[in-house]
Amino acid sequence: MRKCLITCKAHPGEPAWFALWQFARERFMDYAAAHGYDFREFWYNDFDAGEWPGLIHGRLPAWPFDKSMTSPCWLKIPAIAQSLRRYDLVLYLDNDCVILDFLKDIADDLPADKWIGMAEGTTSEGTGPNVGVVVTRSVPMAWKFWRQAWDIDAWQTARWTDQGQVFHLLGFRTVPPIEKLRETEYDSGYYVLPSEWNAWTDCGKAPAGTRIYHAAWGRSGEWKLQVMREAIVQRK
C-alpha cells in the first residue's frame, strides 16, 4: 500500500509561522520514515488554480500576510484531494501539530470498512470532527468527499471556513454550537479516531497518552511553537 504524509508549507515573510512549520516538519519526516509514508508538502504553486476556483483569491479568510490572497488554511483540501490520486492512503497534518509518539501508525486505527478518520476537536463551542488531523483511504467516496469539500459554499456563512465545509458534508452545524444535525451519505465511511491522535489543551500541557498534540486554535505562532516544544520535553 502506498501511503503519504502531507502538510502545507509556510512563508518566510511570516517568521513565527515559518519557524513553526520547520519545527513540525522534522518530526513529520521522521514519522513518515518510521511507518513507510512518503512525505510531501504543498504550497500555492503546487495546484492548478483553474481546477480549484478561489484558491488564489476569492475566499475567506484572507491571508493576513497578503490580504489579496486566500488564506493558506484552504490548501489542505486540494492537497488531500490531489494526493489521493497517487496514493492508497493519505495522512494530512496541520503544521501546528507535533508528533509525540512514533510507535504506532495512525492508519492502524482506521477500521478496514472506513475510508476517512478524524479525531474529534472539543472546544467551548462544542465537539465535532477536526480537519487538522485526517487520514483518508483512496476510494471513490473519498474522492467525491474532498471534491465537494472544495466546491460547496458553506464557507460563506460558516464560523470555521475550511473546517465548516467538512462540518456541512458530515451533517454538523457550521456555526456554534457544534452539533450533529442530520445523517449524510458519508456517515457510513467516517470514523472518529481516538482523541490521542489530535489532543489539545489551551494551557500548553499535552494530556497523558497523547500521540499527536495540536496547539490550540487562535493562538499566535510564537505561543504554538513554545507549547509544542514543551510538549516534547514533558514526554521525555
Closest CA to 72 of 35, 108, 110, 45: 45
In whole angstroms, give the CA distance from residue 172 to residue 154. Answer: 11
Q: Is 67 left (phi over 0), alpha (psi -120 to 50) or beta?
A: alpha
C-alpha cell of 222? 510564537
| Of 141-155, 160-174, 204-218, the least confident | 204-218
CATH number for the domain spanning 155: value is: 3.90.550.10
Tens digits of residue pLDDT in 151-172: 999 999 999 899 999 999 999 9
Stretch 34-63: mean pLDDT: 97
Q: What is the per-residue pLDDT for 208?
A: 86
Stretch 83-105: mean pLDDT: 97
Structural domain boundaries enclosing 121: 3-235
Amino acid letter, residue 112 = A
Cα distances from 88 to residues 24, 33, 117, 184, 193, in angstroms, run: 24, 17, 14, 24, 19
Domain count, the chain: 1
| Of 92-106, 194-208, 221-235, the least confident | 194-208
Q: Would you give the distance in Å from CA 221 to the centre of its chain?
A: 17
pTM of the full structure: 0.96
Q: Is 58 left (phi over 0), alpha (psi -120 to 50) or beta?
A: left
For 86-89, which contacts have Cβ atoms below 8 Å and span 24 or more sequence positions?
86/2, 86/4, 87/2, 87/3, 87/4, 87/38, 87/138, 88/1, 88/2, 88/3, 88/137, 88/138, 89/1, 89/2, 89/3, 89/4, 89/135, 89/136, 89/137, 89/138
Of all helices (H) and strands (E), which one includes residue 229? helix 221-235
Instruction: Give ∠ CA 142-45-160 in degrees, rounded to 5.
Output: 50
Stretch 60-81: mean pLDDT: 97
Helix (H, G, I), strand (E, B) or coil at 189: helix
